[in-house]
């Protein structure tokens, strides 16, 4: 059933009963638009194929083609409510995929129950079971271990840089500049072909923090932070002369320091 105004078809070989049900529906469900009112199952199928109403109220006993036969051709493409003078047809109605059945004469309270069921079916469907299970499995899956090393080209050499030796990372277009300390403890830089955003997702969040759109810092390399104007700050590093900017959006990282 669509999320727009609901539509319905009524099929009954008795014109007075069709009109009576239409009036009852107008009171019980004012938003419902009756788009077709037909005399038998064959007309019901034809009008359904042309108009595709959301709901089909089908009388069980109609000349030519019964409501049950018409429901079989509609084949669950609409919500079917059988209307019958005999409640013994209820089991057969549900076997045909009917949402509900109404016994003539239709009682207003019973019709309200049917309308409530139809409205409930109009609510957006929630996530299916497979989606929920996949989501839960994702939550239970242990996170990937944080990177211990970065592979970077330094001149003609390929270096394995321990993440604990990194002071900060700075975005450089599609690449990332890695500021680290070499074996002799001196500052060094290398370029890796991985965007900063992808690297950040693989680093230990307890050790590395983004402090600017283009900068991620190793918190263990921070000496102190000086607040500036307009909710900004500047990071001073323990073993480097350069400073790093902290933008307003990331100042919370240091509020507890």
Q: Model pTM?
A: 0.48
Q: Which residue has the higher pLDDT, 88 or 198?
A: 198
Homologous superfamily (CATH) of 149-254 is LytTr DNA-binding domain (2.40.50.1020)
Domains 7-138 and 149-254 share a fold: no
Helix extents (H) in the chain: 15-28, 41-51, 67-74, 90-95, 108-122, 129-140, 196-202
Domain segments of the chain: what residues?
Answer: 7-138, 149-254
Average pLDDT, the chain: 84
Mean pLDDT of 171-182: 88
What are the tens digits of pLDDT across the range 136-147? Answer: 555 555 667 788
pLDDT in the model for residue 1: 52
Q: How far apart are CA 190 and CA 114, in angstroms?
A: 70
What are the tens digits of pLDDT across the range 35-78? Answer: 999 999 999 999 999 999 999 999 988 888 888 888 888 877 89
The third-level CATH classification (topology) of the domain covering 7-138 is Rossmann fold (3.40.50)
Mean pLDDT of 92-115: 79
Contacts of 23 (CB under 8 A, 6+ apart): none
């Amino acid at each position: 059933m669509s999320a727009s105004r609901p539509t319905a078809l009524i099929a009954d070989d008795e014109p007075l009963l069709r009109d009576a049900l239409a009036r009852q529906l107008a009171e019980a469900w004012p938003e419902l638009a009756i788009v077709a009112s037909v005399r038998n199952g064959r007309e019901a199928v034809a009008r359904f194929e042309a108009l595709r109403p959301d709901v089909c109220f089908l009388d069980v006993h109609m000349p030519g083609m019964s409501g049950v036969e018409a429901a079989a051709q509609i084949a669950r493409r609409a919500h079917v409510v059988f209307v019958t003078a005999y409640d013994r047809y209820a089991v057969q109605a549900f076997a045909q995929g009917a949402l509900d059945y109404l016994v003539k004469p239709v009682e207003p309270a019973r019709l309200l129950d049917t309308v409530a069921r139809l409205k409930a079916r109009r609510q957006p469907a929630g996530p299916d079971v497979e989606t929920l299970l996949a989501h839960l499995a994702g939550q239970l899956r242990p996170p990937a271990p944080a990177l211990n090393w970065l592979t970077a080209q330094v001149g003609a050499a390929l270096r394995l840089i321990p993440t604990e030796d990194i002071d900060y990372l700075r975005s450089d277009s599609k690449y990332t500049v890695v500021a680290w300390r070499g074996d002799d403890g001196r500052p060094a830089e290398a370029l890796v072909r991985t965007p900063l955003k992808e690297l950040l997702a693989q680093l230990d969040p307890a050790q590395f923090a983004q402090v600017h759109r283009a900068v991620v810092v190793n918190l263990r390399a921070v000496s102190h932070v000086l607040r500036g104007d307009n909710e900004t700050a500047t990071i001073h590093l323990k073993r480097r002369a350069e400073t790093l900017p902290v933008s307003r959006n990331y100042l919370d990282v240091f509020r507890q320091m």
